[in-house]
Structure 1
Amino acid sequence: MYTYEPLRKGPGLDFRSTFTFSNTGKSASSGTKYSAVSIDMEPEFQYMNPSHPWWVTICTGAVQFFAYFLFIITLPFSAIVCFKMVHQYERIVVYRIGHLLPLKGPGIVLILPCIDRWNKVDLRTKAFNVPPTRVCTSDGGLILIGSVVHFRVQNPLRANNSLKDMNHSIRTMAQSAMSKILSKKLFSEVMSSGSRYNYDIQTEINEVARDWGLEIGRVELSQPVAEVSPPVQQTGFLDKLKSGFGGGGDVMGMTQQLLGFAGAGGLNQQYASMNKVSETSTNIPVVDIEKEAGDLINAAGSVIDEDMLYNVDAAFEIKLTDNGNYYFIDLKIGGGSCGKGRLPVGTPDATLILSFSTLHKLLSGKIGAFSAYNSGNLKLEGDIKTAMRLEELVNHLKI
């Protein structure tokens, strides 16, 4: 009998082989027989540990003896109840007097009466749908997207001890992973080729699922549905700075120009020219907000029809932050109405607090309700989903 010995004796190192070798059985090739030593699947799980106080050990042994005795004296009737058939694709997790036993199956498994609690685990691959989830992309768009997740139980002991509701846990994790991955992408990228992120989402879910004893085999994203398009990009500070320096160049080039102007004493002249351009561009004629807002609301009232009333079925109040005036759009009662003031009948389903410029962009379709709310230009009292129904009215307006 030949066995490997440890190279160094100590608590930290152990170089013993997982195989033992013996020359008792001759093989056709080398004349040596190999037999694998069994390794516990889950060494971190403590099975029935005998290192209890002596009285606990005696009580446990007495209870087990009584269970075996009850099984024997009630044969053959007890065999019908206590023997469980476990198929090749199944395993049974058994708790005996609250202690976890090694994994059982496949074959016939004995379940002792009164003291054993068991759970059968299916090892085959399963799939389920993840309900559509709203995801806000990095450029302010809003999409509705779901997925199909294929998974299997890789470690029945860990899965049974870690999860109470397996499907709910994976579904919640899949929704979280979709939001985390897709929220970093652009609206156009997700809408054009969202399926290319299947593997990224699968890897993200697997990082947590492996700790639960599960393995995610495949993730298939559904076709995304656009709910809110991203807002139109506005000219930022960097674009204004570029226009002040002739409309071109990168940041490093503009920095060198700034340093050159500062050394030559021309920075003040360039700054003055930029201020002049800015003053010219911001010299916008004063608008009669009350009159213009009234015209917008009247234009909205002229396109109300029965289909719109059926689809929206909500009443709105609009408060302008410029002058504090209230306006209402009632798409709920009667044939619908719009006007200045508070809602004449009932209470509003949503109150929009915004400036006149934001109202104009909202009703003209240049910006969506969710994008305005997300950017802070729109304050809302009520449900954001109800406010988004205003897009039905916007689609009929021609401003």
Structure 2
Amino acid sequence: MADVEADQATLSGAQATVLSTAVGLLLLLCSLRSVPLGERMVVVRRGRARLRGPGVVALLPFLDRGVRVPLGVRWYGVDRLEATTRDAVRVAVTAAATGTVQDPLRYATASNPDQAVEWVLESELRRRLAERDLAQLATAPLTGATELAAAVSARTAEWGVEIGDVQLGRVETRVDPSLVRWATSR
């Protein structure tokens, strides 16, 4: 009888070893992440952020948080921006900007950096439109696009994003009697 109890204790010890090994392998496999060439992973542990990748990155379960950061060209769009020109004409503008992540650590630790970049783009567009007359927008809508991109980049650098190009897609205005009077007075 004592021999049977000893065999059961040995089996349960062997089962425990197999079970702990299986759990350890499962945790190891769950902690590995593959980071492609066009991305980096920012690993945050106890408030400290480290940059990892490309390649295989190991995260410690329950301690590390991994944030993937794409490094390629990103599009930021303004679908319809309502603004007023210097000569008090209401216009609706569509625009697009291209940008890249230059500092993945800043990008990953920022709160909603893509939305913040679009907000900055909209505010800079509003400011630039307020400095121009409607006639200037009609003749040369892209004048100052490099200065606009530089102004947006200066404000988005704190999130690790650099804007390379900004283009106005469409400038629309409502034709109403005051606009007709404005056009005929010129």
Compared with structure 1, are the counterparts of its residues 101 and 135 closer, same or farther at alpha carbon in structure 2 (3 Å cutoff)?
closer
Q: 1:112 aligns with which of 54, 60, 80?
A: 60
Residue of structure 2 aligned with 1:195, choices 135, 138, 142:
142
* Bigger Cα Rg: 1
Say which SS state the counterpart of residue 218 (structure 1) adopts: strand
Identity %: 22
Secondary structure at the aligned position of 2:141 is classed as helix
What's the Cα RMSD here?
Answer: 2.3
- Distance in 1 of aligned mates of 2:176 and 2:119: 26
Matched, 1:174 2:121: yes
User: Is 1:147 equivalent to 2:95 in the alignment?
Assistant: yes
What is the identity, as a one-letter code, of the residue corresponding to 1:199? T
SS in structure 2 of the partner of residue 102 of structure 1:
strand
2:32 maps to 83
Deviations 1:156-203, CA, capped at 9 Å, x for gaps = 111122x22222111111110001112111110012221223222211
1:95 aligned residue = 44
Change in 2 beyond 3 A, CA 1:130/1:92: same
Q: Structure 1 residue 116: deviation in Å?
A: 1.1
Aligned amino acid, residue 165 of structure 2: R
Larger RCO (CA under 8 A, 6+ residues apart): 2
Separation (CA, whole Å) in 2 of partners of 1:154 and 1:72 = 42
Secondary structure at 1:195 match in 2: coil
Do the aligned partners of 2:85 and 2:131 also contact (CA within 8 Å) in 1? yes
Structure (1 or 2) with the greater strand fraction: 2
CA contact (8 A) 2:69 2:107 kept: no
Which range is displaced more, 221-230 or 137-146? Answer: 221-230
Q: Distance in 2 between matches of 1:119 and 1:182?
A: 37
Q: Matched residue of 1:133: which SS?
A: strand
Report the CA distance between 1:127 and its aligned residue.
0.8
Work out whether residues 187 and 230 of structure 1, in 8 Å CA contact, stay in contact via their aligned partners in 2. no
Deviation at 1:128, TM superposition (A): 3.2
TM-score (norm 1): 0.38
Distance 1:109 1:169 in 2: 29
Does residue 165 (structure 1) correspond to residue 88 (structure 2)? The answer is: no
Q: Which runs of 5+ in 1 are unaligned?
A: 1-70, 233-364, 368-399
1:219-273 deviation line (CA, Å, top 9, x unaligned): 11112112267968xxxxxxxxxxxxxxxxxxxxxxxxxxxxxxxxxxxxxxxxx
SS of residue matched to 1:227: coil
- 1:95 deviation in Å? 1.4
User: In the alignment, does 2:83 pair up with 1:135?
Assistant: yes
Taking structure 2 as the reference length, what is the TM-score of the superposition?
0.79
Contact 1:94 1:104 in 2 (8 A): yes
Judged with a 3 Å threshold, the aligned counterparts in structure 2 of structure 1 residues 129 and 146 are, in CA distance, closer, same or farther, namely same
Matched ranges for 1:1-399 at <5 A? 74-96=23-45, 98-161=46-109, 163-227=110-174, 366=181
Query: What is the alpha-carbon distance in structure 2 between the residues aligned to residue 139 and residue 230 of structure 1?
Result: 15
Deviations along 1:268-290, whole A, 9 cap, x unmatched? Answer: xxxxxxxxxxxxxxxxxxxxxxx
Higher helix proportion (structure 1 or 2): 2
Note closer, same or farther for the CA distance 1:174–1:105 as it changes in structure 2 (3 Å cut).
same
